[in-house]
Amino acid sequence: MPLMFRALGALVVVGAVAVAGRADAAPQKKKYHFELTAVTARSEVAADTAAIAQPRIEAQVKTAFGAHAQLVGALDGAPDPRTAAEPYRKWIERKGLAGSFLVTVEITEASQALEPMPDKPSSQRLTIHVALHTLGETIPGRTMGFTGDGQATIKIEVGKKLRDKDRDYGWDQAAELAVADAIKTSLAQLDKPAKK
């Protein structure tokens, strides 16, 4: 009898630990559909700099929308939200999505600077800065859904002559980090509880 009691006691303890483990588990993060509408640049961003930044940022946004754990890219089989708004809303809900948004990304700042490094006469420092603003409008209805901001500054040591591959690497890294930051702030805003 004592052996059976010990075994039963061990099962109760294991069961209690399993229940406590599930109660402490982090809540599942909400998922959203983001669809890119455009990547634009503010008029204050120099045209030649915008021409370098825009395609890189657009490529990074498309990659991030397809790869981020909280974002669903393609909505295969969804009703057309322009002609079937209510069926689209129900379809999104059935798929477990918390919302669907058209997203515009605006380049608010973009710059590149090359400066000497006094302690290393054979090197220069390339500094690239990118800042973005996102605006999400609900699908369907196109009402204001969220905004977000992201930015990144990359500093790279380069040789006396700036090579194209060094410049491209810096712009790609800045675009990737700024996009990730903008998505993070956008999702943080969406994940906040609704005000009552």
The tens digit of pLDDT for each residue in 44-54 reads 999 999 999 99
pLDDT at 5: 44
pLDDT-derived band at 24, boundaries 50, 70, 90: low
Burial class (CB in 10 A: 0-12, 13-18, 19+), 13: exposed
**Terminal CA-CA length for the chain:** 58
Question: Is the pLDDT score of 6 beyond 80?
Answer: no
Question: Is the pLDDT score of 18 beyond 60?
Answer: no
The overall pTM is greater than 0.85: no
pLDDT at 73: 83
Question: Is the pLDDT score of 23 beyond 80?
Answer: no
pLDDT-derived band at 74, boundaries 50, 70, 90: confident
CB 126 within 8 A of CB 158: yes
Helix ranges, 25-163 (H): 47-67, 85-94
Alpha-carbon distance values, 136 to 38, 99, 126, 144, 151 (Å): 11, 11, 33, 6, 18
Burial class (CB in 10 A: 0-12, 13-18, 19+), 126: buried
The tens digit of pLDDT for each residue in 134-192 reads 999 999 999 999 999 999 999 999 999 999 999 999 999 999 999 999 999 999 999 88
pLDDT at 8: 42
For the record, the structure tokens of 124 come out as 């220069």
d(CA 107, CA 171): 13
- Domains of the chain, start order: 29-191 (3.40.50)
CB 134 within 8 A of CB 166: no
